[in-house]
């Protein structure tokens, strides 16, 4: 059985929907409010688990609070292994999300996620070593990601790295990971002085850039490849990128080509934005297969 480990953030999303964002000093009425499990790491683990019968293990931290308890229960309900999610004195991380005009604005309070330092992994390296694929993001400390990436490189473990949110130190990671999946903004943060086509060619079959409603672009070693997005009635885009990454990882574990893994991930992401919540719209494999059939895309 293929084993996947997701090492990253675990948070509770505090989501407000509004018709418009207030200006400084202004108060506006919102439409509704919800609390739903989130965090890029947790989201990507759930996205993978919804699609795959293979084992996916979450490694991270929550606080000793009601949010942490609720999140652990959510992992259980979604068949994500969570025995390596620790409980720490810090409060569970939160993300304050404002939804408006088919888009979102997000403020992150890392909380317990900042406790996931290299020392936190002292008893988990052997568990990580059992993985066939490790998924990383940027909502835990950079030094932890770098230590994991180097360890995986030394042990021939594939790494999918989603450099979100972008930070200037991320370039250190690139030599140690197999796949890098920034969005267009994050790609510009990583490579501010290079043209997109030049970067994609340099990191062919490794750098996959998501372009929102414009689709996904990568270089296959011979030519630039662009896979279009699928039009949808947007309800909530919050988990679209995380769904893409979880589904792309699933495609890789199914031994699909990079281009076919991207096509599958585009379909999964398309389905995810039609429901509320980062995890609420993440599709099951049967839903993805039905949409692939409808679109006459044959991946299997």
Binding-site positions for substrate: 11-13, 39-43, 139, 242
Q: State how far the alpha carbon of 108 is from the alpha carbons of 15, 66, 164, in Å.
A: 12, 18, 12
The helix (run of H) or strand (run of E) holding residue 76 is helix 66-77
Which residues, in sequence order, are CB contacts of 191 under 8 Å at separation 6+? 199
Strand order in the sheet with 179-180: 81-88, 55-63, 3-7, 133-136, 158-161, 179-180
HEC readout, 212-275: HHHCEEEECCCCEEEECCCCCCCCCCCCHHHHHHHHHHHHHHCCCCHHHHHHHHHHHHHHHCCC
Could you tell me which residues are annotated as the binding site? 11-13, 39-43, 139, 183, 210-215, 236, 238, 241-242, 272, 275, 277
CB atoms within 10 A of CB 185: 12
| Residue 103 bears catalytic tag | no
The answer to whether 299 touches 264, Cβ cutoff 8 Å, is: yes
The CA angle 113-98-139, to the nearest 5 degrees, is 20
The CA angle 250-252-254, to the nearest 5 degrees, is 70
Which residue among the candidates 102, 103, 178, 242 is catalytic per the annotation? 242
Catalytic residues: 242
């Amino acid at each position: 059985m293929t084993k996947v480990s997701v090492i990253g953030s675990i948070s509770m999303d505090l989501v407000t929907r509004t018709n418009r964002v207030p200006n400084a000093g202004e108060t506006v009425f919102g439409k509704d409010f919800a609390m739903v499990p989130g965090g890029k790491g947790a989201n990507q683990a759930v996205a993978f688990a919804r699609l795959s019968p293979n084992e996916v293990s979450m490694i991270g931290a929550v606080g000793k609070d009601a949010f942490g308890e609720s999140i652990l229960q959510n992992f259980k309900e979604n068949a994500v292994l969570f025995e390596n999610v620790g409980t720490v004195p810090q409060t569970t991380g939160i993300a304050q999300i404002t939804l408006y005009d088919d888009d979102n604005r997000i403020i992150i309070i890392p909380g317990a996620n900042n406790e996931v330092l290299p020392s936190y992994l002292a008893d988990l390296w052997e568990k990580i070593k059992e993985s066939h694929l490790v998924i990383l993001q940027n909502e835990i400390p950079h030094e932890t990601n770098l230590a994991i990436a180097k360890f995986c490189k030394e042990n021939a473990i594939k790494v999918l790295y989603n450099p979100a949110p972008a930070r200037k130190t991320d370039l250190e990671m690139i030599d140690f990971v197999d796949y890098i999946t920034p969005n267009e903004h994050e790609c510009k943060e990583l490579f501010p002085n290079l043209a997109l086509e030049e970067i994609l060619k340099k990191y062919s079959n490794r750098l996959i850039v998501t372009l929102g409603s414009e689709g996904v672009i990568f270089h296959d070693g011979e030519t630039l490849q662009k896979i279009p997005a699928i039009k949808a009635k947007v309800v909530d885009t919050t988990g679209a990128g995380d769904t893409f990454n979880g589904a792309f990882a699933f495609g890789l574990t199914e031994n699909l080509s990079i281009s076919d893994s991207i096509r599958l991930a585009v379909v999964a992401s398309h389905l995810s934005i039609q429901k509320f919540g980062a995890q609420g719209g993440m599709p099951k494999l049967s839903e993805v297969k039905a949409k692939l059939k409808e679109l006459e895309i044959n991946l299997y």
